[in-house]
Amino acid sequence: MAIVVDGFHKTYGETVAVEGISFKVEPQEILGLAGPNGAGKTTTLRALAGILRPTRGNLYIAGYDLETDPVEAKARLAYVPDDPRLFDRLTVWEHFRFVAGVYRLTEWQERAEQLLVRLELTEKRDALCSDLSRGMRQKVAIGCGYLHQPKAVLLDEPLTGLDPRGIRTMKDMIREHAAAGTAFIVSSHLLSLLEDLATRVVIIRKGRVVLDEPMAQLKTELDAEGRKETLEDLFFRLTESAPPEEQPAAEQAGGAP
């Protein structure tokens, strides 16, 4: 199992941000993570990236526990937040060189060149990141994330700032890397993106999982009895109506890898 969230609970003082959620992401799977603002999506991603420490629960990347084997787990992970922090005084190519050094990569240059071409960054190779547009900076962050060929990729609002060609390229690259064995979590408020891209959907409401289903099964259910309900319709029904009966965290799809 590439990503396992097992009873993850996070509190800040007396505020509960995430309440014992559990789910798994297999290799080749693209999990779409959705929820209203403040539902706990970014908290979950930041914990999986090793930035936040769980109050309770366990998190695994490619079989490695982030608590006991953080270096091994992070070596197999890429995390691109919704507002990537780049080094303003480094060029695009220097970012790739820096990442290659951090992950101790050898013979990385050819792959980096391919990523530059694919992400339309070749002409910006020697440009300082402080001089790049928001969309170009997003592409640099994505390219750096893919450079070490991670087993698991976490993307928080990955289409921010991208033009239509960039959006198409981003979606194609996610599908291609997933087909090659990478597990993805894509968190986005763009439900149409998740409906188009995800193979499974998890919806979080107030720090708890209210839906965890394969997309193919979900679409069949949404089309049942001629209702033709969209993912957006379902999202509003689950997150804005009276709280549904929620399963205890231990009964959700968790468990150690």
Longest Cα–Cα distance of the chain, Å, equals 58
Q: Is residue 152 a contact partner of residue 62, using CB atoms and an 8 Å limit?
A: yes
End-to-end distance of the chain based on CA atoms, in angstroms? 6
Q: What would the 3-class secondary structure string for 115-144 be?
A: HHHHCCCHHHCCCEHHHCCHHHHHHHHHHH
pLDDT digits (tens, 9 = 90+) for 201-248: 999 999 999 999 999 988 888 777 566 778 888 899 888 865 544 444
* Per-residue tokens: 78: 């890429």
Q: Confidence band (pLDDT; 50, 70, 90) for 174?
A: very high
Q: In whole angstroms, what is the distance from residue 152 CA to residue 115 CA?
A: 18
Query: Does residue 63 register a pLDDT over 80?
Result: yes
Q: Is residue 63 a contact partner of residue 75, using CB atoms and an 8 Å limit?
A: no
Query: Does residue 251 register a pLDDT over 60?
Result: no
Inter-helix orientation angle 215-222/231-240, to 10°: 90
Residue bearing tokens 């188009």: 196
HSE, CB side, 13 Å, CA atoms: give it for residue 110.
2
Q: Confidence band (pLDDT; 50, 70, 90) for 254?
A: very low
- Which CATH number is correct for 1-76+181-257, 3.40.50.970, 2.60.120.1140, 1.10.3720.10, 3.40.50.300? 3.40.50.300
Q: Is residue 30 a contact partner of residue 69, using CB atoms and an 8 Å limit?
A: no
CB atoms within 10 A of CB 215: 20
Which of 145, 135, 126 has the alpha carbon at shortest distance from 186? 145
* 126-152 core/surface letters (b: 16 or more CB in 10 A; e: else): eeebeebeebbbbbbbbbbbbbbebbb
pTM of the complete model: 0.90
pLDDT digits (tens, 9 = 90+) for 5-60: 999 999 999 999 999 999 999 999 999 999 999 999 999 999 999 999 999 999 99
- pLDDT at residue number 171: 96
Q: Give just the sign of the alpha carbon dihedral 231, 234, 240, 245.
A: negative
Q: Is residue 235 a contact partner of residue 44, using CB atoms and an 8 Å limit?
A: no
DSSP string, 60-81: EETTEETTT-HHHHHHTEEEE-
* Per-residue tokens: 235: 């999202």
* Per-residue tokens: 252: 């959700």
